[in-house]
Amino acid sequence: MSGFLVRRLGLALVQLVVVASLIFLLVRLIPGDAARAVAGEIATKEQVAAIRAEMGLDRPVWGQFLDFWAGLLRGDLGTSLISGREVMLDLPPRVANSLELVLIALALAVLIGVPLGRWAALRADRAGDHLVTGAGILGISLPVFVLGTLLLLVFSLWLPILPPERFVTIGQDPAAHLRALVLPVVTLTAASTAVIARMTRSSMLETLSADYVRTARSKGLAETLVVRRHALRTALIPVVSITGVELATLIGSTVLVETIFGWPGMSSFLMNAVGSRDYPVIQAVVLSTATIVIAVNFAADLVIRALDPRTEAV
């Protein structure tokens, strides 16, 4: 296990280094001039050049790259080119707000999707199975911006159970914060629940027909023990893998969900930075997102390894 852990940790660190380097290079391919965005359209060339020098954008790219890595190793994500504030002052609250949505949605998707998929697999080709499969197809095919808009219309305007509220932190007003959290979480949870339920169902059906499961049944074990001890444990391996993928999908979906519900997370922070060519902010947000995804996939690999020590996690 220790060798496996060291290999996976090393791979995660290499992924982070590659991602950070690519982020630095790719943001500089964004069309436009950050110095011009700061100076304004009516600024003279001399003023723009002075701002560019002040920002360090007149230096060679390799020099900026070395400065980027030197700051990163010190835990310094830089200073916003637009606001002049250190990125680390504004980024953590935004990351926390987005993670709150994503992790709650992912947890609910697992807690609902796995039992639903298991239940459908044990009733294959019967009414319950068809119901779960049909709901899963609907959940996957319904875009988040459509579902989010419908939920907002229904529960905010037609049935004003959850009227739109100004965002407040849980420390300021726990009840208002939880009310504002419901619709975004439901929107994000729907598609992920469908994906996890369908994966659990197909994996369970495959496992239930395996030789070792038939052998367990032939020995006279109760069906509940066969399913819980033998089938479900193995069937969860691909489910854990797809859960890591779903996290990345949920993070991507938050761009639309946070916009629809006015949730101040990473997405709006990133979109504003892209519009103003704020390189440090873009780098910080994308790097934070990549770190979260890599960390969750690392944890998923450890869970898969625990479920089946013979498995070299993907």
What does pTM read for this prediction?
A: 0.81
Structure tokens at 300: 């998923």
Mean pLDDT of the chain: 83
β-sheet bridge partners, residue 79: 86
If pLDDT is split at 50, 70 and 90, which confidence band does 311 have? low
User: Tell me: the pLDDT tens digits for 2-53?
Assistant: 677 778 788 888 888 898 888 888 877 777 667 766 666 666 777 777 777 7
Q: Per-residue pLDDT tens for 161-201?
A: 877 667 888 888 888 888 888 899 999 999 899 999 999 99
Q: What is the pLDDT of residue 197?
A: 92
More confident of the two residues 107 and 217: 107
Q: Where are the alpha helices (DSSP H) in the chain?
A: 2-27, 34-39, 45-55, 61-73, 87-121, 127-141, 144-152, 174-208, 211-218, 223-225, 232-261, 266-275, 279-307
Q: Please give the domain boundaries of the chain with CATH numbers for all domains.
A: 2-73 (no CATH), 92-307 (1.10.3720.10)
b or e along 98-126 (b: 16 or more beta carbons within 10 Å of the residue's beta carbon)? bbbbbeebbebbbebbbebbbbbbbeeee
Q: Average pLDDT in the 63-79 region? A: 83
d(CA 66, CA 77): 13
Gap between the Cα atoms of 108 and 192, Å rounded: 9
